[in-house]
């Protein structure tokens, strides 16, 4: 749900560029067409937009410049500059998550940089899609980030309202408050999570959702015993938390040597063709 309706009838977008970090890169939603990369909500959204463009007889191109580990300065700096060089009509700008994981962060400065980026894109005539952080109130150790997430979400809603941007309300998406919607690292959405976020993006853009039950929480899962919960937590700490801390101490990230997965605007396989191929058609 959005605080603003930039257009009563959404335009037929033809040039969509996504910028951001691991969330927009698609971690950890495996791409069945390419096991070396992730699919994710932005790719899934692009497939819907391609389908819509094809229905109206227009071409569609999509680029995804997001790279895991990137902080906001890189997203609204080099990534945004590259995005604007492609003359997009829709840009999703989602960042700040890695900044908020740092020991200290200036949330007002973060919002200021995001607002400048939104204004820059809107002045070109392109639309902007933003996304709030999740509400981590039921997320164990990540609950400590709730105050930061809430302030950042409020800032994003204000930016969207003031500048006619679309916004995905992840803060209010209760269906994602389930660990089955997240990967083993407990930071990135799973395949199920990315599909729910795609539906939320369609709603934010004023487009029909394709899954009528996407906001319905999953049936309750069988709860593990205390000993099993402790074992799972120890495995997570050893496999995911410790390497993350080590990278921060070294001043590196998991994406330090990586490039964008879709660096140029290019056609994207529409949902009908992807589905036909998956069925062997």
Q: What percent of the chain has pLDDT over 90?
A: 65
**Average pLDDT of span 43-52:** 97
For 49-63, the pLDDT digits (tens) are 999 999 999 999 999
Dist CA 175 CA 65 (whole Å): 28
Q: How confident is the model at residue 4 (pLDDT cuts 50, 70, 90)?
A: very low
Residue 105 has pLDDT above 90, yes or no: yes
Task: State the burial class of residue 37 (Cβ atoms within 10 Å of its Cβ: 0-12, 13-18, 19+).
Answer: middle
pTM of structure:
0.87
Instruction: Answer whether 6's CB lies under 8 Å from 164's CB.
Output: yes
Residue 278 has pLDDT above 60, yes or no: no
Look at residue 227 in the predicted model and tell me its pLDDT: 72
Look at residue 271 in the predicted model and tell me its pLDDT: 55
**Average pLDDT of span 211-217:** 93
Those residues whose C-beta lies under 8 Å from the C-beta of residue 263, and which sit 6 or more positions away, are: 63, 65, 82
Range list of H helices, the chain = 22-25, 40-55, 72-74, 80-84, 97-100, 107-122, 146-163, 191-204, 226-236, 242-250, 271-278
Residue 241 or 25, more confident: 25
Look at residue 20 in the predicted model and tell me its pLDDT: 99
Look at residue 3 in the predicted model and tell me its pLDDT: 38
For 242-263, the pLDDT digits (tens) are 566 666 556 666 666 799 999 9
Among 1.10.10.10, 3.20.20.70, 3.40.50.1110, 3.30.70.141, name the CATH number for the domain at 15-218+261-278. Answer: 3.40.50.1110
Residue 240 has pLDDT above 70, yes or no: no
For 129-184, the pLDDT digits (tens) are 999 999 977 766 677 889 999 999 999 999 999 999 999 999 999 888 888 898 88
Look at residue 184 in the predicted model and tell me its pLDDT: 82
The domain locations on the chain are 15-218+261-278
Parallel/antiparallel/unpaired status of strands 90-94 and 166-168: unpaired
């Amino acid at each position: 749900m959005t605080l603003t309706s930039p257009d009563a009838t959404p335009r037929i977008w033809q040039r969509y560029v996504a910028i951001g970090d691991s969330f927009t890169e698609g971690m950890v939603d495996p791409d069945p067409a390419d096991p070396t990369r992730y699919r994710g909500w932005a790719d899934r959204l692009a497939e819907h937009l391609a389908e819509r463009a094809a229905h109206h007889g227009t071409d569609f191109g999509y680029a995804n410049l997001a790279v895991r580990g990137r902080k906001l300065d890189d997203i609204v700096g080099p990534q945004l500059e590259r995005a604007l060089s492609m003359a997009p009509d829709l840009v999703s700008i989602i960042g700040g998550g890695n900044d908020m994981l740092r020991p200290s962060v200036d949330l007002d400065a973060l919002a200021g940089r995001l607002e400048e980026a939104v204004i820059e894109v809107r002045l070109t005539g392109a639309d902007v899609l933003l996304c709030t952080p999740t509400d981590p109130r039921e997320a164990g150790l990540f609950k400590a980030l709730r105050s930061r997430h809430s302030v950042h979400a409020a800032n994003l809603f204000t930016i969207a309202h003031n500048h006619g941007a679309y916004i995905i309300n992840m803060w209010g998406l209760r269906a994602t408050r389930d660990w089955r919607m997240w990967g083993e690292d407990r930071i990135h959405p799973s395949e199920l999570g990315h599909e729910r976020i795609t539906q939320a993006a369609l709603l934010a853009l004023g487009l029909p959702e394709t899954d009528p039950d996407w906001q319905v929480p999953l049936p309750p899962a069988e709860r593990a015993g205390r000993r099993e919960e402790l074992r799972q937590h120890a495995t997570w700490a050893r496999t995911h938390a410790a390497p993350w801390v080590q990278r921060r101490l070294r001043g590196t990230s998991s994406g330090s040597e990586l490039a964008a997965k879709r660096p140029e605007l290019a056609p994207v396989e529409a949902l009908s063709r992807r589905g036909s191929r998956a069925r062997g058609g």
